[in-house]
């Protein structure tokens, strides 16, 4: 059985969504971010990214990680590419050309988009959005996203999804990276095709199952 290490309110959400899309049974091991705990190494501390048991899984101390048939992988976007490749179906590449496109869009999301979107979400998570420094970070991040949003907007002019005109792992990976910037609604209003595409991705039942897990987790915190 697939094991996913990490809480829903983290990048592990990507892997939980993917597992739901594929209809995979999975075991969830709720490892929390060490930065959220006063003393992550205390004997009674919750399982976290500095816990020895988790460091045995991922020595880098980052979530998520997955374990599948003895294979351990520790990069959220790569985890999803692996699961798509293993289980096939419409979320996977139909041929090597599509696989290459899915890999390219995923790397693009990680290198060109996420460095900006993660700064936005962390600014809000740390309640700094109304401070001068926080506003500066958000403005700089939005400026950095203008080019990537314009590229995606143009790409979606002739198709509803990024590869093969169907929802695939590439859409899931990119949608999860862009979700971090949803607070900046004006950026999406400027790019209506991107806005509509993200709404299509978020209308999927598997996404709602993942988000239900996030809400349940937040309520229990």
What is the β-pairing status of strands 26-29 and 2-5? parallel
- Contact in structure between 28 and 16 (CB atoms under 8 Å): yes
* pLDDT reported for residue 220: 83
Exposed e or buried b per residue across 117-147, where buried means at least 16 C-beta atoms within 10 angstroms of its C-beta: bebbbebeeeeeeeeeebeebbeebbebbee
* CATH 1.20.1050.10 domain range(s) in the chain: 96-206
pLDDT beneath 70, residues of the chain:
none
As a CATH number, domain 2-87 is: 3.40.30.10
- d(Cα 130, Cα 140) in Å, to the nearest integer? 15
* CATH 3.40.30.10 domain range(s) in the chain: 2-87
* Architecture of domain 96-206 in this structure: Up-down Bundle (1.20)
- d(Cα 221, Cα 218) in Å, to the nearest integer? 5
* pLDDT reported for residue 221: 72
Predicted TM-score of the model (pTM):
0.96
- d(Cα 43, Cα 119) in Å, to the nearest integer? 32
């Amino acid at each position: 059985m697939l094991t996913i290490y990490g809480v829903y309110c983290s990048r592990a959400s990507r892997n939980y969504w993917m597992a739901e899309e594929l209809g995979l049974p999975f075991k969830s091991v709720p490892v929390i971010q060490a930065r959220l705990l006063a003393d992550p190494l205390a004997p009674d501390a919750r399982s976290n990214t500095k816990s020895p048991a988790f460091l045995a899984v991922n020595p880098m101390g980052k979530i998520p990680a997955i374990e599948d048939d003895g294979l351990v992988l520790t990069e959220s976007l790569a985890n999803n590419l692996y699961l798509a490749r293993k289980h096939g179906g419409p979320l996977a590449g139909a041929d090597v050309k599509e696989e290459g496109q899915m890999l390219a869009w995923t790397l693009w999301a990680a290198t060109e988009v996420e460095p900006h979107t993660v700064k936005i979400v962390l600014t809000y998570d740390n309640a700094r959005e109304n401070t001068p420094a926080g506003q500066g970070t958000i403005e700089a991040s939005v400026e950095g996203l203008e080019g990537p949003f314009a590229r995606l907007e143009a790409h979606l002019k002739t198709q509803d999804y990024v590869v093969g005109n169907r929802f695939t792992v590439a859409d899931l990976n990119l949608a999860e990276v862009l979700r971090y910037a949803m607070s900046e609604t004006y950026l999406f209003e400027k790019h209506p095709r991107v806005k509509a595409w993200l709404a299509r991705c978020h209308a999927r039942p598997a996404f709602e199952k993942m988000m239900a897990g996030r809400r349940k987790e937040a309520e229990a915190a």
